[in-house]
Amino acid sequence: MNLAEHIREVPDFPKEGILFKDITTLVGHAEAFRASLDQLQDRFRDSQADAVVALEARGYLFGAPLADRLGLRFVPVRKTGKLPADTIKQDYDLEYGSNTLEIHRDALSPGERVLIIDDLIATGGSAAATVKLVEKLGAVVVGFGAIIELSFLNGRSMLGDIKVESLLTFD
Count: domains in the chain: 1
Model confidence pLDDT, tens digit, residues 6-43: 999 999 998 899 899 999 999 999 999 999 999 999 99
Question: Pick the catalytic residue: 73, 78, 95, 113?
Answer: 95
**Quick check: is 58 catalytic?**
yes
**Quick check: is 165 catalytic?**
no
SS3 155: helix
| Residue 28 domain flag | no
Supply the range of the domain harboring residue 83: 37-170
Residue 5 banded pLDDT, cuts 50, 70, 90:
very high
Model confidence pLDDT, tens digit, residues 110-165: 999 999 999 999 999 999 999 999 999 999 999 999 999 999 999 999 999 999 99
Q: How many Å apart are CA 169 and CA 130, to the nearest integer?
A: 21
In this structure, how many other beta carbons lie within 10 angstroms of the beta carbon of residue 14? 10
What pTM did the predictor assign? 0.96
Q: Report in angstroms the alpha-carbon separations of 44 from 25, 40, 112, 113.
A: 24, 6, 16, 12
Average pLDDT over residues 85-98: 86
Residue 95 banded pLDDT, cuts 50, 70, 90:
low
Q: How many Å apart are CA 139 and CA 114, to the nearest integer?
A: 7
| Residue 30 domain flag | no
| Residue 138 domain flag | yes
Helix and strand numbers (H, E) in the chain are 4, 9
Looking up residue 74, the CATH number of its domain turns out to be 3.40.50.2020
Residue 28: CB partners within 8 Å, gap ≥ 6? none
Question: Pick the catalytic residue: 43, 58, 69, 113?
Answer: 58
What's the pLDDT at 96?
64
Q: How many Å apart are CA 21 and CA 70, to the nearest integer?
A: 27
